[in-house]
Structure 1
């Protein structure tokens, strides 16, 4: 019975023995800011936002690509695997389960 009690006392003593102040830590950097300035809409997504809610098809894809002026167009359906690289000139068209455009954005 003495051994467990002795262990607890020694553990408490060891914790309180270090009277050194806690190490100073630098503050976290501020979060990144989204640039809404020139070049923020490099893929032309703003010009084709009216297509959201429409049924997607090849003809609509071509029209969106032409009107936006995007260098690349990527269509993403639910569950599709996609690279996480950010390309400002790439237009991402996100579809829902019924092939209806849910979101259009650069990246």
Structure 2
């Protein structure tokens, strides 16, 4: 078995979110994490974020995996409590 002593290229840097990279407005609604979700709260989150699209992700429900920078995802736990809000 031969080994090459040639230097390896470093791994690429992970993508960085720039200040302007919050296309879905998630940073404006992070204070809702930990609250019980209902439709009224969802509507206010969507409006305040300014997101182009909005969806709620509940455990066990199917959802598409394509990434959309302008879409706000609200993740809930089994009890309907918001666990995360982010773009995608």
TM-score strictly above 0.5: yes
Q: What residue number does 1:105 align with?
A: 86
| Structure of higher CA gyration radius | 1
Aligned residues between the structures: 87
Unaligned 5+ residue runs, structure 2?
Answer: none
1 or 2 for the larger relative contact order (CA 8 Å, sep ≥6)? 2
CA distance in 1, matches of 2:71, 2:86: 8
1:64 counterpart residue number: 45
Q: Which structure has the highest helix share of the two?
A: 1
2:33 pairs, out of 52, 56, 65, with 52
Q: Which runs of 5+ in 1 are unaligned?
A: 1-15
Match of 1:96 among 68, 77, 80: 77
Pairing of 1:8-27 with structure 2 (within 5 A): 27=9
Q: In 1, Cα distance between the equivalents of 2:38 and 2:16?
A: 31
TM score, norm. by length of structure 2: 0.84
- 1:84 offset after TM fit, Å? 1.5
- Output the TM-score relative to the length of structure 1: 0.70
Question: Would you say 1:36 and 2:18 are equivalent positions?
Answer: yes
